[in-house]
């Protein structure tokens, strides 16, 4: 099998940014899941990227039904590389499935309705817990800052493990 494309689902744009960066680096085309369902043949081998909502990588189940997912990236607000076990469990990922977590960002202005409400509640309760902590780690400070001020943490650097995986998988040197 040969990797054919990157397929992604993004709500506020951070996952779309990662898909574009990875597409540029690898030369693969990046499709939104909706585009892919119309254009990409069933069974094509893909890298799937989806934003994380309440632990679940959005669109992943649909992608898995149609395509051969070679690796999956979950984009959330936690630091890149964190919560791999949690994400694996929450999404029922087989241990053979390569999985990467990438830090996206938070933009309250782009959130509406129930998603905005949930985030406000999450931010409120996590914020209070973290504020009450005496010995916050730099990561916890970063999360607190993200909830308070929003922020864009998308970078090529965050994709380095994905790129290494791709190089190993394809034998190409990028």
Task: Kindly state whether residue 14 participates in binding ligand FMN, applying the rule CB under 6 A.
Answer: yes
Q: Give the angle subtended at the CA of 63 by the CAs of 25 and 161, to the nearest 5°.
A: 35
Task: Kindly state whether residue 105 participates in binding ligand FMN, applying the rule CB under 6 A.
Answer: yes
Task: Say which residues have a Cβ less than 8 Å from residue 6's Cβ, sequence separation at least 6.
Answer: 19, 22, 23, 26, 28, 29, 30, 31, 46, 47, 48, 49
Q: How far is the CB of 79 from ligand FMN (least distance, A)?
A: 9
Stretch that binds ligand FMN, among 24-32, 62-70, 75-83, 164-172 (CB under 6 A): 75-83
Given 53, 84, 156, 174, the residue binding ligand FMN (CB under 6 A): 53
Q: How far is the CB of 94 from ligand FMN (least distance, A)?
A: 21
Short-list 60, 51, 111, CA closest to 78: 51
Residues 72 and 62: their CA atoms lie apart, in Å, by 13
Q: How far is the CB of 143 from ligand FMN (least distance, A)?
A: 9
Q: Give the angle subtended at the CA of 86 by the CAs of 132 and 13, to the nearest 5°.
A: 85
Residues 31 and 39: their CA atoms lie apart, in Å, by 9
Task: Kindly state whether residue 12 participates in binding ligand FMN, applying the rule CB under 6 A.
Answer: yes
Q: Which is nearer to ligand FMN, 54 or 132 (CB)?
A: 54
Task: Kindly state whether residue 52 participates in binding ligand FMN, applying the rule CB under 6 A.
Answer: yes
Task: Say which residues have a Cβ less than 8 Å from residue 170's Cβ, sequence separation at least 6.
Answer: 3
Stretch that binds ligand FMN, among 35-43, 74-82, 126-134, 136-144 (CB under 6 A): 74-82
Site residues (vs ligand FMN, CB under 6 A)? 10-15, 51-55, 75-78, 104-106, 111, 115, 118-119
């Amino acid at each position: 099998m040969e990797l054919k494309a990157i397929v992604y689902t993004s709500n506020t744009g951070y996952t779309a940014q990662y898909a574009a960066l990875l597409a540029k680096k690898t030369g693969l085309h990046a499709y939104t899941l909706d585009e892919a369902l119309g254009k990409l043949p069933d069974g094509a081998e893909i890298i799937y990227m989806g934003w994380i909502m309440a632990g679940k990588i959005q669109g992943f189940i649909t992608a898995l039904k149609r395509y051969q997912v070679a690796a999956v990236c979950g984009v959330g607000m936690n630091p890149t590389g964190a919560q791999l076990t949690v994400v694996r469990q929450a999404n029922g990922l087989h241990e053979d499935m390569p999985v990467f977590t990438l830090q996206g960002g938070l933009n309250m202005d782009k959130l509406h309705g129930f998603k905005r409400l949930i985030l406000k509640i999450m931010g409120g309760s996590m914020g209070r817990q973290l504020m009450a902590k005496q010995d916050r780690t730099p990561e916890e400070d970063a999360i607190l800052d993200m909830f308070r001020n929003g922020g864009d943490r998308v970078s090529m650097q965050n994709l380095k493990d994905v790129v290494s995986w791709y190089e190993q998988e394809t034998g190409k040197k990028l």
